[in-house]
Amino acid sequence: MTFTVAIDGPAAAGKGTISKAVAAHFGFAHLDTGLLYRAVGRRTLEGEAAETAARDLRTEDLERDDLRTAQVAQAASKVAVIAEVRAALVDFQRAFARRAGGAVLDGRDIGTVICPEAEVKLFVTASAEVRAERRYLELTAKGQDTTRAAVLADVRERDARDADRATAPMKPAEDAVLLDTSTMDIPTALAAAIAEIERKM
Ligand code: C5P
């Protein structure tokens, strides 16, 4: 059986938490596609060309524990505008989506570009302020030194770059179900996601 759940949306909207919980609930595999762009972005910080890094990406690159920094996130959103980088990462994502037993992929363009045929498409969003506050608490809990203002500016800058790019801009698919987590807590959003998947199974 193949069954694909596409979960898109901006940074810190709750996508990751919902995707992991949905995958655990249904026993599906989960791919956080942001890690692919982060891994490429990190390699560019070491001086490598983005296109080469994307073509040569290995699974070990996705397992590094230094991919979750604000610096790598910015580098990821910069390489993510390059059409050749996105093209080099398509096959890996599509193969993952079709693996037996069901898959959840979260990102920005899963429902629109990577898996337009996904059985379920969700777009998880929240206001920039709510998302920045969540990300600020997450980063400071991990001991990273930052300010609320810096995190909000970073969230806004990445949102704009992700939504305005020419190739695969972040946007809800026409048939995506919207979950706004600024007006709904994560457990409520998760319950809505599970109900939507059960309806399509
Ligand atoms: O989701 P995450 O914050 O880890 O993503 C990092 C960056 O990777 C995003 O800001 C976006 O530019 C890019 N990305 C993308 N398409 C995806 C997933 C992530 O362009 N499917």
Segment 85-122, tens digit of pLDDT: 999 999 999 999 999 999 999 999 999 999 999 999 99
The terminus-to-terminus CA distance of the chain in angstroms comes to: 11
Q: How confident is the model at residue 186, as a pLDDT?
A: 87
Identify whether the C-beta of residue 37 lies closer than 8 Å to the C-beta of residue 76: yes
What are phi and psi for residue 139, nearest 5 degrees? -70, -45
Whether 69 shows a pLDDT value over 90: the answer reads no
- 194, amino acid identity: I
Q: How confident is the model at residue 6, as a pLDDT?
A: 98
The pTM for the full model equals 0.95
Identify whether the C-beta of residue 132 lies closer than 8 Å to the C-beta of residue 148: yes
Q: pLDDT confidence of 15, banded at 50, 70, 90?
A: very high
Q: How confident is the model at residue 14, as a pLDDT?
A: 93
Nearest CA to ligand 1 atom 11: 77
From ligand 1's centre to the CA of 171, what distance in Å? 12
Q: Is 131 in the pocket of ligand 1 (CB under 6 A)?
A: no
For a substitution probing ligand 1, which of 77, 134, 139, 154 has the most ligand atoms within 8 Å of its CB? 77
Mean pLDDT computed over 12-22:
95
Higher-confidence position of 183 and 57: 57
Mind listing the pLDDT tens digit for each residue in 130-154? 999 999 999 899 998 999 999 999 9
Phi-psi group of 50: left, alpha or beta (phi > 0 → left; psi -120 to 50 → alpha; rest → beta): alpha
Q: pLDDT confidence of 70, banded at 50, 70, 90?
A: confident
Number of helices (H), then strands (E), in the chain:
9, 5
Domain 4-200 bears CATH identifier 1.10.1200.10: no
Mean pLDDT computed over 179-196:
94
Q: pLDDT confidence of 79, banded at 50, 70, 90?
A: very high
Identify whether the C-beta of residue 6 lies closer than 8 Å to the C-beta of residue 130: no
Q: How confident is the model at residue 193, as a pLDDT?
A: 97
Closest atom of ligand 1 to CA, residue 106: 21
For the question of an ipTM over 0.95, the answer is yes
